[in-house]
Amino acid sequence: MGTIIELQNVGFIAEKQDIIKNLSCQFEEGKASALIGPSGAGKSTILKLAAGLLVPTQGAVYLRHEDISLMNHERMLNFRRQAAVVFQDSALWANQSLYQNMELPLRIHFPQMPKRERDQRINEVLAEAGYQKDLMMRPAKLSMGEQKLIAFARAMVCRPVLIFLDEWIESLDENAVQRLINIAKMHKDAGHTIIFVSHDFRVVKYLADYVFIIIGGVLTMKLTGAQLTSDMALAQYIEKGIVS
> What residue spans define the domains of the chain?
3-41+51-243
Tell me: pLDDT of 205 over 80: yes
Dihedral angle of Cα 113, 118, 121, 123, to the nearest 10 degrees: -170
Residue 75, Cβ neighbours under 10 Å: how many?
A: 13
The reported pLDDT for the residue numbered 202 is 84
Which pLDDT score is estimated for 242?
56
Average pLDDT over every residue of 185-214: 93
On the question of pLDDT at 142 being above 80, the answer is yes
Is the pLDDT reported for residue 240 higher than 70?
no
Query: H/E element holding 213?
Result: strand 210-215
What is the CB neighbour count within 10 angstroms for residue 170?
16
Q: What is the mean pLDDT of residues 135-140?
A: 94
The answer on pLDDT for 125 being more than 60 is yes
Cα 69 vs. chain centroid, distance in angstroms? 19
pLDDT score of 113 more than 90: yes
* Average pLDDT value for residue range 58-70: 96
Angle at the Cα of 53 (from 201 to 60), degrees rounded to 5?
95
Stretch among 107-116, 127-136, 155-164, 234-243 having the lowest mean pLDDT: 234-243
Residue range 180-197: average pLDDT? Answer: 95
Q: Global pTM?
A: 0.93
Could you tell me the pLDDT band of residue 228, with boundaries at 50, 70 and 90? confident
Is the dihedral angle over the CA atoms 11, 227, 39, 189 positive or is it negative?
A: positive
**What is the average per-residue pLDDT within 162-185?**
92
**What pLDDT is attached to residue 232?**
77
pLDDT, greater one: 243 or 11: 11
Quote the percentage of the chain above a pLDDT of 90: 77
What are the residue ranges of helices labelled H in the chain? 43-50, 73-82, 98-109, 115-129, 144-156, 174-189, 201-207, 225-230, 232-238
Q: Span 3-41+51-243: which CATH code? A: 3.40.50.300
Assess whether pLDDT exceeds 60 at residue 63. yes
Amino acid occupying residue 173: D
Quick count: other Cβ atoms within 10 Å of Cβ 81? 16
